[in-house]
A and B are shown apart, each in its own frame.
Chain A
Amino acid sequence: MIKKKTGVLLSLMLLCSIGAQAQLVTSMRINEVLVINEDNFVDDYGKRNGWIELYNPSAGTVNIGGCFLTDDKDNPKKYPIPKGDVLTRIKPRQHALFWADGVASHGTFHLNFTLDPDKENYIALYDADGRTLVDEITIPAGQQTDISYGRRIDGQDEWGYLEKVTPSTNNLTLDTNEKMDNFKQNDAIGIGMTLTAMAVVFLGLILLFLCFKGVGKAAISASKRRAEKASGETSGKSGGDVSGEILAAISMALYELDEDVHDIENTVLTIQKVKRNYSPWSSKIYGLRETPRK
């Protein structure tokens, strides 16, 4: 029995740990790539090179230290992202930018390969084991100068040429609050929102109502069956001549007695027993010297 319980517990822990892993490195995405950088973003050394942006779409911080970036399908471990760099901890919905300058000695975020402007570029991100593919993309040949190729919306599947080059930030930025504008334009009075929302509120509570109507019926019939079984009766009578009011009065009296509701009343003297919990700190036994035994 104990072995069985341990097995179930371990299985649950294993399932949980698999779920946790899914929230981590495997959720990272290659998000935006600039192959030809002539008049765009410069690195810390004042140089312009192609770059690759990674994005963490998850709700937790992801450490990509120990993972691999590569441009070679046959060599998944081409660039090991150094471990122990605080900057490789990517916060939720944040980005990391890697320079494809071929000079890894320039730091953690400088790759040991470059992007070729004359042909298509394969880029992949591998997990720390060097075997689990996290994400990959093939950037088509014929890239335009200073125009990046990326996901239209961060982390989502659709790729294309982006209107704005957005290193280390969202690929899609909004000039207006589309949602609000939509509401102002199409539902200026608020009737649409009211009807929709009230319909959902009612739907939710109607579902609960129907569900508990069924549960209630099942519970009543089950209790009847139990009562019949207990009394040995076969008829469907629900015994008891006591009315609801009497039961309520008895319950109220018991409640008041239990809760000492009427302990303090005007003009009525009541005595409440004061009970103090035993504590060795206040015990006289420990405070007095014991008489020595002969």
Chain B
Amino acid sequence: MQESFLSFLGENLQLFLTYTGVYNVTPGHLIMIAVGLLFIFLAIRYEFEPMLLIPIGFGILIGNIPFKDAGLQIGIYEENSVLNILYQGVTQGWYPPLIFLGIGAMTDFSALISNPKLMLIGAAAQFGIFGAYIIALQMGFEPNQAGAIGIIGGADGPTAIFLSSKLAPNLMGAIAVSAYSYMALVPIIQPPFMRLLTTKKERVIRMKPPRVVSSTEKIIFPIIGLLLTCFLVPTGLPLLGMLFFGNLLKESGVTRRLAETARGPLIDTITILLGITVGASTQATQFITLNSVKIFGLGALSFVIATCAGILFVKFFNLFLKEGNKINPLIGNAGVSAVPDSARISQTVGLEYAPTNYLLMHAMGPNVAGVIGSAVAAGILLGFLG
């Protein structure tokens, strides 16, 4: 009796052991957990995009707790598990438009409206997307996969997730983590290329202070912006529609509560859900592949191309501008839509060479134009390859 009880207990303990993380762990899980810890460290120690890296980093930890695949509905890829239900917002692509609603409600387009030619810098920086697209094609990716990878160069996490969920869902985890990681690393990636491609004389160009923009212009902007861009690229509607709608809530002046909700609790909630589920989607068994490594490489390259394209475009543009109207090429990097980080970098690098030359407001122009540009580019890729 006692013996059979002990053997029963032993068998149960043995069975329980097979369910533990310790029993199911693989080197892949440990690597991913280390990556998650690195993200959390970078976010807390160096404050690299903590709002993104903390949820994603912790999500990576959650997603890489090893477990026995016994249909317990705990993994993010198991249908109807809690994480899987939350992940639907990513796979079905409805988190990104809600994030764009919040971005619209918190973005001040005044810098762009006061100096609309800065919009063209935002367009030029989109070369990063298509440069990476060309290279990805040469590396053997299918056109739809190459398009999804290229969008990392737009430096816009929600857009990258939205497009990859439509074009290449199997690469979405790697693309999302890559996009957010490089957005956090913008302060490291961009400055060397900004210095490399500009002369000392160019770096101290002082731009005219932006004029005061009337509230009527601010109200007109989202309406005309939506009509012009979406009539041209209707596939960009989910992102651009929500971006401009959020901005109208902000600028109309009569929907303050809605604007505050969109740029406050709503965007915070979605950011938490998006970050944690994107992080958890990097389950080692699905994530550690050669393709993920290639995507990380291409992501870095696309950021570099986008930065260089923005700066070189400003230099080219300056050839046609009169003295006094010239643009400081240090704001060219801000054409990537990592708002407002890349604009801050323009300011920091600019101050190194001219301590009273404040470029932040000027850089915000191409920065927000980059948001519009990358959403338009995503719409085009979706239209062509979707």
Chain A positions within 8 Å of B, measured between CB atoms, are 179-180, 183-184, 187-191, 193-194, 196-198, 200-209, 211-213, 215-216, 219-220, 222-223, 244-245, 247-248
Query: Would B123 and A202 count as touching, CB distance under 8 A?
Result: yes
Query: Would B143 and A183 count as touching, CB distance under 8 A?
Result: yes
- Check: B134 CB closer than 8 A to any chain A CB: yes
Shortest Cβ distance from B220 into A: residue: A215
Query: Would B377 and A208 count as touching, CB distance under 8 A?
Result: no
Shortest Cβ distance from B137 into A: residue: A190
Query: Would B144 and A208 count as touching, CB distance under 8 A?
Result: no
- Check: B372 CB closer than 8 A to any chain A CB: yes
Option from B119, B142, B381 in Cβ contact (under 8 Å) with A205: B119
CA distance A194 to B309 in the complex (A): 14
- Check: B127 CB closer than 8 A to any chain A CB: yes
Q: Min CB distance, B1 to chain A, in Å? A: 56
Instruction: From known contacts A190-B137, A219-B214, A244-B209, infer whether A208 and B114 are also in contact, taking CB-CB under 8 Å.
Output: no
Instruction: From known contacts A200-B233, A211-B224, A223-B214, infer whether A190 and B373 are also in contact, taking CB-CB under 8 Å.
Output: no
Q: Which residues on A sit within 8 Å (CB–CB) of B217?
A: 212, 215-216, 219
Per-residue 0/1 for B127-143: is the Cβ within 8 Å of any A Cβ (1 yes, 0 no)? Answer: 10111011001100011
CA distance A213 to B115 in the complex (A): 8
Instruction: From known contacts A183-B385, A219-B216, infer whether A201 and B123 are also in contact, taking CB-CB under 8 Å.
Output: yes
| Besides the known contacts A179-B385, A201-B126, A211-B224, 12 further A-B residue pairs in the complex with CB atoms under 8 A apart | A197-B384, A202-B120, A204-B376, A205-B123, A205-B372, A205-B373, A207-B232, A208-B116, A212-B112, A212-B116, A212-B217, A245-B209
Query: Would A189 and B138 count as touching, CB distance under 8 A?
Result: yes
- The DSSP consensus for interface residues of chain A is helix
- Check: B195 CB closer than 8 A to any chain A CB: no
Q: Which residues on B sit within 8 Å (CB–CB) of A247?
A: 209
Option from A190, A191, A208, A215 in Cβ contact (under 8 Å) with B119: A208
Q: Min CB distance, A179 to chain B, in Å? A: 7
Q: Which of A209, A212, A213, A223 has the most CB of B within 10 A?
A: A212
Query: Would A209 and B377 count as touching, CB distance under 8 A?
Result: no
CA distance A216 to B131 in the complex (A): 34
What are 25 A-B pairs at a CB distance below 8 A? A179-B385, A180-B142, A180-B143, A188-B137, A193-B143, A196-B384, A197-B381, A201-B380, A204-B372, A207-B228, A208-B116, A208-B119, A208-B225, A209-B119, A209-B120, A212-B217, A213-B116, A213-B117, A215-B224, A216-B116, A219-B217, A220-B211, A222-B214, A245-B209, A247-B209
Q: Min CB distance, A36 to chain B, in Å? A: 39
Q: Which residues on B sit within 8 Å (CB–CB) of A219?
A: 213-214, 216-217
Q: Min CB distance, A186 to chain B, in Å? A: 11
Q: Min CB distance, A225 to chain B, in Å? A: 13
CA distance A267 to B336 in the complex (A): 39
Query: Would A209 and B116 count as touching, CB distance under 8 A?
Result: yes
Q: Which residues on B sit within 8 Å (CB–CB) of A204?
A: 123, 228-229, 232-233, 372-373, 376
Per-residue 0/1 for B216-241: is the Cβ within 8 Å of any A Cβ (1 yes, 0 no)? Answer: 11001100110011001100000000
Q: Which 7 pairs show the lowest CB-CB distances between chains A and B?
A: A244-B209, A194-B130, A190-B134, A212-B116, A183-B143, A205-B123, A205-B119
Instruction: From known contacts A184-B143, A189-B137, A212-B113, infer whether A200 and B224 are also in contact, taking CB-CB under 8 Å.
Output: no
Shortest Cβ distance from A218 into B: residue: B217
Instruction: From known contacts A183-B385, A197-B130, infer whether A205 and B122 are also in contact, taking CB-CB under 8 Å.
Output: yes
Q: Which residues on A sit within 8 Å (CB–CB) of B126?
A: 197-198, 201
Option from A183, A220, A248 in Cβ contact (under 8 Å) with B358: A248
Instruction: From known contacts A200-B233, A208-B119, A223-B214, infer whether A193 and B133 are also in contact, taking CB-CB under 8 Å.
Output: yes
Q: Which residues on B sit within 8 Å (CB–CB) of A205?
A: 119-120, 122-123, 369, 372-373, 376
CA distance A206 to B117 in the complex (A): 8
Q: Min CB distance, A101 to chain B, in Å? A: 38
Shortest Cβ distance from B135 into A: residue: A190
CA distance A184 to B385 in the complex (A): 11
- Check: B146 CB closer than 8 A to any chain A CB: yes
Query: Would B127 and A198 count as touching, CB distance under 8 A?
Result: yes
Q: Which residues on A sit within 8 Å (CB–CB) of B114?
A: 216
CA distance A200 to B67 in the complex (A): 48
Shortest Cβ distance from A182 into B: residue: B143
Instruction: From known contacts A197-B380, A200-B232, A202-B120, infer whether A190 and B133 are also in contact, taking CB-CB under 8 Å.
Output: yes
CA distance A220 to B212 in the complex (A): 9
CA distance A187 to B134 in the complex (A): 10
Shortest Cβ distance from A214 into B: residue: B116
Q: Which of B143, B224, B225, B228 has the most CB of A within 10 A?
A: B143
Query: Would B232 and A209 count as touching, CB distance under 8 A?
Result: no
Q: Min CB distance, A165 to chain B, in Å? A: 29
Query: Would A193 and B130 count as touching, CB distance under 8 A?
Result: yes
CA distance A51 to B137 in the complex (A): 47
CA distance A87 to B232 in the complex (A): 39
- B:180-222 near A, CB below 8 Å: 208-209, 211, 213-214, 216-217, 220-221
Shortest Cβ distance from A206 into B: residue: B120
- B:363-386 near A, CB below 8 Å: 369, 372-373, 376-377, 380-381, 384-385
Q: Which residues on A sit within 8 Å (CB–CB) of B221?
A: 212
CA distance A263 to B59 in the complex (A): 34
Q: Which of A179, A193, A204, A220 has the most CB of B within 10 A?
A: A204
Q: Which residues on B sit within 8 Å (CB–CB) of A179?
A: 384-385
Q: Which of A179, A184, A193 has the most CB of B within 10 A?
A: A193
Shortest Cβ distance from B130 into A: residue: A194
Query: Would B209 and A248 count as touching, CB distance under 8 A?
Result: yes
Q: Min CB distance, A162 to chain B, in Å? A: 26
